[in-house]
């Protein structure tokens, strides 16, 4: 295995695997790597019964603790329905 490959940290966005050499990524960086539209909201899937966490573009997430799973939601998906 190449030396640089050992330091890659895997994470998933919408069930697709990505890797980064960085130990933390901002929401904007995660969206850019996964080619998610900038206006989408990013969420981190939490373990167990804990609610999923919204990740802002400027918020950094440590991707070394455990493999993180994110999902992207289009704008105007949440709100009131008639």
At 36-56, the pLDDT tens digits run 999 999 999 998 899 999 999
Every domain of the chain and the residues it spans: 3-73
User: What's residue 17's pLDDT?
Assistant: 98
**CATH (residue range 3-73):** 2.40.240
pLDDT values of the chain reduced to their tens digit, one per residue, 82 residues: 444 446 899 999 999 999 999 999 999 999 999 999 999 999 999 988 999 999 999 999 999 988 999 999 998 755 555 4
Q: Rounded to whole angstroms, how far apart are CA atoms 71 and 33?
A: 13
Per-residue b/e over 10-24, b at no fewer than 16 CB within 10 Å? ebebeeeebebeeee
User: What's residue 79's pLDDT?
Assistant: 55
């Amino acid at each position: 295995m190449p030396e640089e490959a050992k330091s890659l940290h895997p994470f998933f966005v919408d069930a697709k695997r990505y890797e980064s050499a960085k130990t933390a990524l901002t929401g904007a960086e995660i969206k850019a790597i996964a080619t998610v539209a900038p206006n989408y909201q990013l969420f981190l899937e939490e373990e167990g019964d804990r609610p999923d966490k919204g990740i802002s573009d400027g918020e950094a997430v440590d991707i070394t603790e455990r493999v993180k799973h994110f999902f992207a939601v289009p704008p105007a998906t949440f709100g009131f329905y008639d």
